[in-house]
Structure 1
Amino acid sequence: MCAHYEAVSQPERLHELFKVAMPTGAVADVWPGYAGIFIRHPREAQQGDGVAPWREAMAGSFGLIPHWAKDPSLAKKTYNARSETVATKPSYRDAWRLGRRCIIPAEAFYEPDWRSGRAVPTRIARADGKPMGIAGIWTGWRAPDGSIVRSMSMLTVNADEHPLMKNFHRPEDEKRMVVVLEENDFDRWLSPLDRPEAMLRSLPAEKLVAGASM
């Protein structure tokens, strides 16, 4: 599971890979409840209106806040959605059913390495140095003052047998990893799909690099 990640904070890097402009309101060091960046297809693009940009970047809470939530504090528990249950869990199922898929741009994510007997924060990034495009879902929540708060959650898959990711978290815990999309899959993930779950798979270990964080 991923509770901490490093967002893409340089506008030129965000535009180079994701072809979007940097939104306002997001932070670089993101924890549950903090504002990160997510990328979606605008509604106009989904309806075939060529005037709208094909992708747009927005700021949103890291941790999905479903429409029925009483307050935004639920985001501290809903920052990761399991691929096996995203279609059925109450917190996520509406966003999944409505096809509200997004990409969460990240320079790296962090996991605890327990092999030494204590938690060592470890930074995990792409081996090629490019930002990651992490598969996610997003939604909007109406606050008591009438404003709309957007939020997102990262999708995860089992990593018990993954050569790299099996090393993280406590030995007795199930191993999980976020879904890192390949660049040529970005638009496919954002587009209407009959079986989006087929795209939820782990990135090969050789495409990742891990090191103790500072």
Structure 2
Amino acid sequence: MCAHFEAVYDPERLRKTFKLTLPEGGRRDVWPSYPAAFIRYPRPLTAPAAAAPAEEVGGGREALLGRFGLIPHWAKDAGVARHTYNARSETVASKPSFRDAWRLGRRCIVPAEAIYEPDWRSGKAVPTRIVRADGEPWALAGLWTGWRDASGAVQRSFTLLTVNADQHPFMNQFHQPNEEKRMVVALREADFSTWLQAPLAQAAALVCASPAGDWRADEGEPSPAPA
């Protein structure tokens, strides 16, 4: 699971990697219910996606602000976001909180500089900052949706997809020894259009663990949990 990540906060870095403008108002350290940027494809799907020209800025995508933790349309209040920040790939198509977003193809990319997970190899939880080995930002696979609050205003929100990591050479060292190991889904740039635009079966094939060599534990101090 991933309950804490560091968003891409530098507008130039987001523009360089994703060719998009960073929306205002996001948090750098992101915990459930905090606002952060996510990337979606806004136009209706009319053809399979192989296909946004490379020279098209952002490939027709847009970066928006959303709450970390999916708020389904039927939720009574936004507090549900504290429990829906991760969607298990094995149950995303059936779990009520996520199944509509999955069925409707509301897939998104969440730009992140780092994720945080607890390393239990010492017998105690040591918060660990995990970055891409090549120093580039993560492009994490997620789902987004919209929710109308009591005033009628629409709030967007998103969740991160996770897969089993019990056999992953890097990510299986995190979380408690007696717990199932989970990890977020990291996308390659070549797969952005497929994830955002392709038919469901084609996009679902990208929901898998990425190679251990892509991951690295950073030596920097982790930020504290919110009070």
TM range (shorter): over 0.9
Report the equivalent of 1:109.
115
Report the equivalent of 2:79.
73
User: For 1:118, which of 124, 138, 154 is the aligned residue?
Assistant: 124
Letter in 2 for 1:179: V
TM-score of the pair, normalised by structure 1? 0.95
Q: 2:29 matched to 1:22?
A: no
The CA distance in 2 between the partners of 1:14 and 1:8, in whole Å, is 6
Aligned length: 213
Give the conservation status (yes or no) of the 8 Å contact 1:121–1:213. no
Identity across aligned pairs (percent)? 59
Q: CA RMSD in A?
A: 1.9
Q: Deviations over 1:74-123 (max 9, x none)?
A: 00000000000000000000000000000000001000001111110001
Report the equivalent of 2:92.
86
The CA distance in 2 between the partners of 1:77 and 1:109, in whole Å, is 18
Gaps of 5+ in 1: none
User: Within 5 Å, which residues of 2 pair with 1:37-186?
Assistant: 37-43=37-43, 46=45, 54-186=60-192
The CA distance in 2 between the partners of 1:72 and 1:212, in whole Å, is 35
Q: Deviations over 1:159-182 (max 9, x none)?
A: 000001000000000000000001
Report the equivalent of 2:199.
193
Give the conservation status (yes or no) of the 8 Å contact 1:19–1:55. no
Report the equivalent of 1:209.
216
Give the conservation status (yes or no) of the 8 Å contact 2:114–2:137. yes
Deviating runs (4+, > 6 A) in structure 1?
none
Gaps of 5+ in 2: 48-55, 222-227
Give the conservation status (yes or no) of the 8 Å contact 2:133–2:215. yes
Report the equivalent of 2:53.
none
The CA distance in 2 between the partners of 1:194 and 1:6, in whole Å, is 28
The CA distance in 2 between the partners of 1:67 and 1:127, in whole Å, is 37
TM-score of the pair, normalised by structure 2? 0.90
CA shift for structure 1 position 43 = 2.6
CA shift for structure 1 position 192 = 2.9
